[in-house]
Amino acid sequence: MGLNKSLRDALEQLIDDTLAESSNFVNVARSFKHLISNDMDFALGLAIGEIIGGFYNYFMVANRRAMQQEELLEMYYIISARAEEIKKAILDAARR
């Protein structure tokens, strides 16, 4: 079945909001610098984790059920299609 348009739009908006807040992920990653080898990869993981967790919670509240395999795959596909954009936002935030 996949995600309906309303859910896809919500996921895209969550990604946009995460891009706008990329400096927060950079700051958190820098605070863990003594424990990690690459703070920008860590920041990217935080941002993507925030998107996945936020959307999964949104989906559960809106639908009162867990996501099915096809819905999960579509969520991952949408996120992966914008992963380079997320990474660029993280790197740009790190330069500021």
Non-local CB neighbours of 14 within 8 Å, separated by 6+ positions: 51, 54, 55, 58
Kindly state the average pLDDT of the residues 9-35: 96
What's the pLDDT at 1?
Answer: 74
Q: Write down the mean pLDDT value for the chain.
A: 96
Domains of the chain, by residue range, sit at 5-95
Quick one: CA torsion of 72, 66, 28, 77, rounded to 10 degrees? Answer: 10
Smallest CA-to-CA distance from 85 within 15, 26, 28 is with: 15
pLDDT reported for residue 96: 87
Question: What pLDDT, in 10s, does the model give residues 45-84?
Answer: 999 999 999 999 999 999 999 999 999 999 999 999 999 9
**DSSP assignment string, 32-58:** TTTT-S-HHHHHHHHHHHHHHHHHHHH
